[in-house]
Amino acid sequence: MAASRIMETIPNGDGDDDLFELVAVGRSCRAVRFDVTHEDHEDLEAQHSHEPRHRNSLQRNSWSSSTQRVLSSMPSRSIRWNQTAAVSQYQSRSTKTRRRRPPNTPCTANQEVFREAQNCAVDGTQKEELLNKLQDLSAGECVRLLREMPLSFSEKHEIRSLVFCLKAEEPISANRALCCHQFKACFLKVLCGGWLRFQLWQKVLKNISARFGTGVLSYFIFLRRMLHYNILLFLISGIFLLLPQISNPPPPSKDNDTDLWMVTGTGILTDSVMFYGHYTNHTSGNYNIPLAYIFSIGTGMFVTCVMLVYSISKSFGKSFCTFKTTGNIALKVFCSWDFKVCRKRSVKLQSVNICTQLKEMLSELSCRKQKRNLCSTLGWLSVHLLVWSICLLSIAACMIAVYYIHPKIKPGGHKNNVELLTLPLVVSCISHLLPGFFDMLSRGEYYDSPSVHIYVSIARNLLLKGCIFSVLCYYWLTKIGYSQEGQNKQCWETLVGQELYRLVLMDLIVSLLYIIFAEFLWGLCIGNITFRRRKLEFDIARDVLELIYGQTLVWFGVLFSPLLPAVQIGKLFLLFYFKKTSLMKNFQAPRKHWRATQMSLLFIGLLFFPSFIGALTCVVYTMWRIKPSSHCGPFRNRNMLELGKKWIINLENSNPSMQWLSWAYVHLVDNPLFLFIIAGLFLTIIYIHMQVLDGQKMIIEKLQEQIDHEGEDKKFLIAKIQALNEESAQL
Amino acid sequence: MGNKQTIFTSQQLDAYQDCTYFTRKEILRLFHRYRDLAPQLVPLDYTNQPEVRLPYELIGSMPELKDNPFRQRIAEVFSEDGEGNMTLDDFLDMFSVLSEMAPRDLKAYYAFKIYDFNNDDFICKSDLEKTLNKLTRNELTEDEVRMVCEKVIDEADLDNDGRLSLEDFQHMIVRAPDFLSTFHIRI
């Protein structure tokens, strides 16, 4: 592959010039020829094979003046005529259908109001119509439509005052409705953590986006979102579990002062609120700690689930595109400029990147698409197979290593606390270093498009982390959970909780060391030693997967160590500041275009599906199947889920006012028939929506065909007019 | 909540809140940003709606816009006089449309107007050429510019009149989910 390097001198803020190297990689092809006259038949073929529709451009310059006059008076040449037509259409439609349609249907009226608003600056009567329509809507809908109108502020202000004036017959209710709407918006924002979102790290994120653009910003926004989830989890478990336990502490056990207790979670921390074993198994005062344990953790997981699903649906709405991505050059020209970038150097870099990408796209168009012959296909396939087999083998080796290191960690079997740290160290090193190794291997591979490359590396990374996590879980839940009764008097739950605590902490320590060594020191080396003073590039996918892995550990560990979310909060804070500092010092703005919206959807999806659902499955399995240890903790040989069930069923006896809850549980939640009906209903609704979507896609295709036909007709008529004008000019 | 501000009346603040995507706090913060551009021109008391218009040079010197190649067009599109001289209302309107919460259609409309250099409600070839030159800082050769313009019109022009109307532009924007995140200025 031919690589052309563009050396660009860009002045930085200090007055020196930084020499940047921008590498453009072009495919091997014939020399780029921008042959507009289509003399070469092969070029013409190549051109047409890339165009979805056959087109001959009209030779506009050779039209006669009479044709031009006719064309300039075509009604469609004026944007305002479009709106008048739309408005008159809407009016005629609305008078017919007013009886059928309820008056408050702002969502279908949206488009017409939008278009009408564009025109209403000109025409007074249309303003009247607009005002009438707005009057019918509720205050909230009115405000929403007002904001979406593409008018200047003074016009909007005028419309607003007129509408609220017209509603002035009941001025109090209008104001109250508006107040209610504002309050509701504020409340929803607070509920979704919006207050935190809009205030925490606002300036820092702005600086990051100014220098590095939307792609790198998405990592930090993801980090902030995970901070929300952890804060929520910590608040729920803190208020309902921690405070009651702290207020009624059990008698303290003997305090074995071990060293490194903070890192290993042993010693003082063993019998603290940090871990499962400390919590009492009886009702202190009126407060039933075991029940509180189950319900607070259950509620925390449920709320996290709801918030994740809500984020996914919002992300999906933003990134959904119904059409296939033809038309890449047009999108590159209009949609690729990132307006957030505002540092001079980054702006210049962005211009250079876009320029390079446009040149690459043009050169791709002029090339003939190479047909891969059998030899090169085999070569390509064998390289891929080789790399995949190396990756899978290394993952298998790591799994075996992790599994066999474990038996060293027997309770009471270790000599000193440092041995306890071996396993977390090995796991963290594997999860940090092996993805880099995979990336190095994949440089030898050839992919059709860069996005496929990213997806494959994400898949490998995910496989590695998933396998490691499953080996750990398997070991904990089968070996430790089912260990013999009389053998050890220690809490297996506390042991597992301590291991997870160590894993989370060690992950943090290894991340920080990695930042210091691999980013600061190595970045310094690269910057000073090599001639071109190249800086590092931020690998967004790898870092996001790190975050997801850490979060999976926390979600699984919250059952054994209710304070683990607090540890994670501290970890995320530290990580944010370290990463931000490292980013500003050692990294340059990314060269490739990062499709932030789609990748954000992918990452939220990965956070939900393998990460949260996996952790939740393990937690539910633990609660359901595995017998709690008999000497410690809130459950002591009682099954967690059974306890909850029994309590709800007994509610009708103990507390007659909550009888409905008991009834609801027995007849609805615990009843397979009801669940079957509900599942069937959901599937039916999903199926109906899918069919509606298919129907709409078909309609869109048909409409597009119609537009094509109209275009052909228009070209035909224009040519005919031209011919007629020429004839009459000759006569 | 607790602190009484005397810059705007509460009706004015309500009006600003209803017509833009900003909260009260953000509106006040933006007012102070506007005022910082020219403290001697902008009074601290807007209750009697003074006619203050900041010249384009001051708007274009804001750090968020200073190096943006499209800053002149942005200022022209959002200013009432079309020259880039902005009142506070125009200023708020501009950052409201460019904020995170503005919907796709609204952003597409204003993006269309920004890229329409000659204000004829169509993006014709000359508009495209100017856009490209601003995007790439005149690094593309003439041939390349011509090829790209032709390709863009080929791809996006649905009704075959050789230039992009608002509908063509909006239809194309639907295919780019990234547009919402790139057509966004943080302030």
Confirm if A596 and A215 have CB atoms less than 8 A apart.
yes
Regarding beta strands A287-288 and A536-537, do their DSSP bridges make them parallel or antiparallel, or are they unpaired?
unpaired
Task: Tell me what the pLDDT averaged over chain A comes to.
Answer: 76
Core vs surface per residue A657-695: b (16+ CB within 10 A) or e: eeeeebeebeeeeeeeeeeeeeeeeeeeeeeeeeeeeee
pLDDT in tens, A573-617: 999 999 999 998 888 888 777 778 888 889 999 999 999 999 999
CA distance A199 to A121: 37
Pick the residue of A157, A335, A348 with the most B CBs within 10 A to test the interface with B by mutation: A335
Any idea what the Cα angle at residue A98 is, between residues A93 and A104, rounded to 5°?
110
Looking at residue A698, what is its pLDDT? 94
Confirm if A294 and A644 have CB atoms less than 8 A apart.
yes
CA B125 to the chain's CA centroid: 22
Residue A686 clears pLDDT 70, i.e. is over it: yes
Mean pLDDT of A468-492: 73
CA distance A225 to A199: 13
Residue whose tokens read 């990965």? A606
Looking at residue A26, what is its pLDDT? 37
The interface predicted TM-score (ipTM) is 0.93
DSSP string, A618-684: HHHHHHHHSPPPSSSTTTTTS-HHHHHHHHHHHHHHH-GGGHHHHHHIIIIIT-HHHHHHHHHHHHH
Instruction: Categorize the per-residue pLDDT at A392 as very low, low, confident or very high, splitting at 50, 70 and 90.
Output: very high
Instruction: Categorize the per-residue pLDDT at A42 as very low, low, confident or very high, splitting at 50, 70 and 90.
Output: very low
Instruction: Categorize the per-residue pLDDT at A308 as very low, low, confident or very high, splitting at 50, 70 and 90.
Output: very high
Confirm if B159 and A718 have CB atoms less than 8 A apart.
no
A619 min Cα distance to partner chain B (Å): 36
* Contacts of residue B38, Cβ cutoff 8 Å, sequence gap at least 6: B54, B58
Question: CB count, 10 Å around CB of A169?
Answer: 8
* Contacts of residue A566, Cβ cutoff 8 Å, sequence gap at least 6: A230, A234, A238
Residue A467 clears pLDDT 90, i.e. is over it: yes
Q: Which of A437, A424, A599, A574 is nearest to A518 (CA)?
A: A437
- For helices A202-212 and A214-237, the axis angle rounded to 10 degrees is 150
If one compares B128 and A245, the residue with the highest pLDDT of the two is B128
Lowest mean pLDDT, pick from A345-354, A391-400, A563-572: A345-354
If one compares A580 and A90, the residue with the highest pLDDT of the two is A580
CA distance A279 to A563: 12
* Contacts of residue A650, Cβ cutoff 8 Å, sequence gap at least 6: A662
Residue A287 pairs with which residues in a beta bridge?
A284
Looking at residue A515, what is its pLDDT? 92
Instruction: Categorize the per-residue pLDDT at A357 as very low, low, confident or very high, splitting at 50, 70 and 90.
Output: confident
For chain B, give the longest Cα–Cα distance.
Answer: 62
Within A406-491, residue ranges assigned H as helices are 417-420, 422-442, 450-474
Residue whose tokens read 């072009």? A26
Instruction: Categorize the per-residue pLDDT at A293 as very low, low, confident or very high, splitting at 50, 70 and 90.
Output: confident
Mean pLDDT of A473-490: 67
B124 min Cα distance to partner chain A (Å): 12
Whether residue A160 lies within 8 A of chain B, CB to CB, comes out as yes
pLDDT in tens, A312-331: 988 887 777 655 555 688 88
Closest-approach residue (CA) in chain B for A360 = B144
Residue A473 clears pLDDT 60, i.e. is over it: yes
If one compares A666 and B94, the residue with the highest pLDDT of the two is B94
Q: Record the tokens describing residue A74, joined without a space.
A: 């075509």
Looking at residue B132, what is its pLDDT? 92
Contact A321 B175 (CB under 8 A): yes
pLDDT in tens, B100-121: 889 888 999 999 999 999 988 8
Q: Record the tokens describing residue B138, joined without a space.
A: 């005149």
If contacts are CB pairs under 8 Å, which of residues 585-604 in chain A contact chain B?
A: 595-598
Percent of chain A with pLDDT over 90: 24
Whether residue A359 lies within 8 A of chain B, CB to CB, comes out as yes
pLDDT in tens, A59-78: 445 667 777 777 766 665 55
Looking at residue A47, what is its pLDDT? 42
pLDDT in tens, A221-266: 999 999 999 999 999 998 888 888 888 777 776 666 667 777 777 7
Percent of chain A with pLDDT over 70: 73
Instruction: Categorize the per-residue pLDDT at A186 as very low, low, confident or very high, splitting at 50, 70 and 90.
Output: low
Mean pLDDT of B66-74: 92
Contact B80 A335 (CB under 8 A): no
Any idea what the Cα angle at residue A694 is, between residues A691 and A698, rounded to 5°?
140
B185 min Cα distance to partner chain A (Å): 5
Looking at residue A529, what is its pLDDT? 77
CA distance A577 to A585: 12
Looking at residue A111, what is its pLDDT? 52
Cross-chain CB nearest to B160 (options A34, A329, A711): A711
Question: CB count, 10 Å around CB of A454?
Answer: 19
> Helix, strand, or coil here: A409?
coil
Residue B27 clears pLDDT 70, i.e. is over it: yes
Residue A23 pairs with which residues in a beta bridge?
A5
Written in H, E and C, the secondary structure of A271-335 is: CCCCCHHHCCCCEECCEEHHHHHHHHHHHHHHHHHHHHHHHHHHHHHHHCCCCCCCCHHHHHHHH
Looking at residue A571, what is its pLDDT? 95
CA distance B166 to B173: 10
pLDDT in tens, A405-446: 876 655 555 556 777 888 899 999 999 999 999 988 888 888
Confirm if A629 and A493 have CB atoms less than 8 A apart.
yes
Lowest mean pLDDT, pick from A110-119, A349-358, A404-413, B27-36: A110-119
If one compares A22 and A708, the residue with the highest pLDDT of the two is A708
Looking at residue B40, what is its pLDDT? 92
Q: Which of A33, A7, A2 is nearest to A352 (CA)?
A: A7
Contact B174 A323 (CB under 8 A): yes
CA distance A387 to A379: 12
Q: DSSP code of B164?
A: B
Looking at residue A92, what is its pLDDT? 46
A236 min Cα distance to partner chain B (Å): 28
Mean pLDDT of A617-641: 83
Closest-approach residue (CA) in chain A for B77 = A152
